[in-house]
Amino acid sequence: MFHRLSIVILILTISISATNLVRFNSFNIVKDLDKNIAYQDSESKLLKMEEAIEYCSNLKIAGLNWKVPTFNELFNIIEQKANYKTVSKVFTNIESDNWYLSLTEHNDIERPFWLIGLANGEVSFLDRKIENSFYVKCVADISNCILDVENITIVEK
C-alpha cells in the first residue's frame, strides 16, 4: 500500500513539473521554471560515460556551465500520460527508443549508473563492464541567470 501511494505521488509530481518547461529556440535549450535548470536540446550525442562528462563540461551554449544530469534532473522531463510515459513535447531533439545517461550512482557496484529511456520513461542501469555508448542531454544550473527570449544574462549573487 505504501509503495503504491509513493508511486502515485511521484507520478503526479513529475507530470506537474514537466509542464513548467519552456523552450528557448535561439539557444536550443529548455528551461525548467521550477527547478532553475537548463537542458541542452541541440542534437544528442552518443558517448561513453567518460566522454559524456568531458563533452558536457566543454559545451559552449549561452555561456553556461554544463554537466551530465543526475537521475532526478533527467527524469524530471518525463511526462505521465493516461497509460504511458514520454518526454515532454517541448524537447525537439530526442533520440526515440534510446537510453540517456545520468550521473547518479546506483548502489550496485557492477551497475553503478542509471539510464533513462526518454521516449518511454523506462529506467535501467549501466553495467560497468559494458563499453557501449549512450545518448547524453547536458544540463546547467541557471539559478544565477536571467533568461528572456533573446538573451541569457548571468547575474552574480
Please, what sign has the CA dihedral across residues 136, 62, 38, 22?
negative
Which of these ranges, 5-9, 115-119, 128-132, has the smallest mean pLDDT?
5-9
Rg (CA), the chain: 16
Q: Average pLDDT for residues 125-147, to the nearest whole number?
A: 81
Our count of domains for the chain comes to 1
Quote the domain boundaries for residue 109.
2-154
Residue 140 has pLDDT above 70, yes or no: yes
According to the model, what pLDDT value does residue 37 have? 92
Q: What's the rounded Cα separation, in Å, for the pair 157 and 151?
A: 18
pLDDT digits (tens, 9 = 90+) for 69-119: 998 898 888 877 766 677 888 888 888 778 888 887 656 555 567 888 887
Query: Per-residue pLDDT for 13 more than 90?
Result: no
- Distance, in Å, from the CA atom of 141 to the CA atom of 26, rounded to the nearest integer, reads 18
Cβ-Cβ contacts under 8 Å for 134 (sequence gap 6 or more):
46, 47, 48, 49, 52, 98, 99, 100, 101, 115, 126
Residue 123 has a pLDDT of: 85
Give the pLDDT mean for 53-77: 91
Position 131 scores a pLDDT of 75
Is the pLDDT at 41 greater than 90? The verdict is yes
pTM confidence score:
0.75
